[in-house]
């Protein structure tokens, strides 16, 4: 089963090309060690929220932009095998040597973790427009969340969504300054879901929303189970739109 390694990063806006160059140098290492796909996506339509947002998730400064990234692995075992070698590789592979290939951003504020997909529907598209989400979900609502996510997918795909991934928290560390839990102000008993939707373009994505709201299935979805609490607190959900600046697959790097 596909395993997802998710990241959110605050990058000085002036360092955009340096970030692209760094990722273009370092990311192939993951492909060489078994990853199947990597996307590094630069903020495009990311707004400040009342309670939570992507900027707060990584303590973003005024002169920084948010990057939403993920690595797709064929399974958790492949991901774990590389994780166990990271210290060794930082000493033996120049691409991961912080002195020879320094990160053009504050790594102390990067949030990251491993997630197991609950929903993985559709097909990946090259150079997609990406909607990224971080969602706090009560642990006991896992199946209810999965059911709701699938119902939404059945609607979205008819209006141009190419792929959706809803990935449940698995190997997500607590950080000293930032982490996925803080990003959504997770409460005791809640887990984090790392979620993304791929679209052919922002134009398709933007056009879909008004159409979906007029769809009878959406109206039924929004109105069903009156008086019953939704499976997560939408006020603390983090979301935004992103455009890829680096995209790698095993085919693109000849792995």
What is the residue extent of each domain of the chain? 3-249
The phi, psi pair for 99, rounded to 5°, reads: -85, -35
Residue bearing tokens 């760094």 = 22
Instruction: Estimate to the nearest angstrom the gap between the alpha carbon of 223 and the chain centroid.
Output: 28
Main-chain phi, psi angles of 188, to 5 degrees: -55, 135
Predicted confidence at residue 87, as pLDDT, reads 86
pLDDT at 230: 83
Return the CATH fold of 3-249. Answer: Alpha-Beta Plaits (3.30.70)
| DSSP letter, residue 26 | H
Q: What is the pLDDT of residue 91?
A: 85
**Distance of alpha carbon 53 from alpha carbon 66, whole angstroms:** 11
Tokens 């339509």 locate to: 45
CB neighbour list of residue 150: distance below 8 Å, 6 or more residues apart: 119, 121
Give the DSSP H/E element, type plus range, for residue 169. strand 161-171
**Residue pLDDT tens, the chain, 255 long:** 899 999 999 999 999 999 999 999 999 999 999 999 999 999 999 999 999 999 999 999 999 999 999 999 999 999 999 999 988 988 898 888 888 889 999 999 999 999 999 999 999 999 999 999 999 999 999 999 999 999 999 999 999 999 999 999 999 999 999 999 999 999 999 999 999 999 999 999 999 998 998 889 887 777 765 555 789 999 999 999 999 999 999 888 776
Give rounded-to-5 percent helix, strand, coil for the chain.
Answer: 35, 35, 30
For residue 255, how many other CB atoms are within 10 A of its CB? 15
> How confident is the model at residue 224, as a pLDDT?
61
């Amino acid at each position: 089963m596909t395993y997802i390694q998710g990241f959110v990063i605050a990058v000085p806006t002036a360092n955009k090309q340096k970030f692209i160059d760094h990722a273009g140098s370092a990311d192939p290492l993951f492909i060489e060690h078994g990853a199947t796909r990597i996307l590094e996506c630069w903020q495009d339509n990311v707004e400040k929220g009342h309670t939570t947002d992507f900027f707060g998730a990584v303590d973003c400064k005024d002169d920084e932009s948010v990057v939403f990234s993920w690595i797709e692995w064929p399974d958790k075992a492949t991901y774990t095998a590389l994780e166990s070698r990271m210290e060794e590789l930082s000493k033996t592979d120049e691409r991961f040597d912080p002195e020879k290939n320094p990160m053009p951003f504050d790594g102390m504020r990067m949030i990251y973790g491993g997630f197991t997909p609950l929903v993985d529907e559709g097909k990946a598209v090259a150079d997609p427009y990406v909607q990224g989400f971080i969602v706090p979900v009560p642990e006991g609502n896992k199946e209810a969340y999965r059911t709701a996510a699938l119902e939404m997918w059945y609607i979205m795909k008819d209006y141009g969504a190419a792929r959706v991934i809803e990935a449940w928290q698995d190997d997500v560390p607590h950080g000293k300054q930032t982490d996925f839990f803080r990003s959504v102000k997770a409460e005791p008993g809640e887990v984090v879901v790392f979620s993304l939707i791929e679209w052919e373009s922002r134009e398709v994505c933007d056009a879909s929303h008004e159409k979906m709201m007029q769809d009878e299935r959406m109206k039924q979805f929004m109105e069903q189970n009156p008086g019953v609490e939704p499976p997560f607190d939408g006020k603390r959900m983090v979301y935004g739109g992103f455009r890829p600046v680096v995209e790698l697959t095993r085919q693109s790097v000849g792995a």
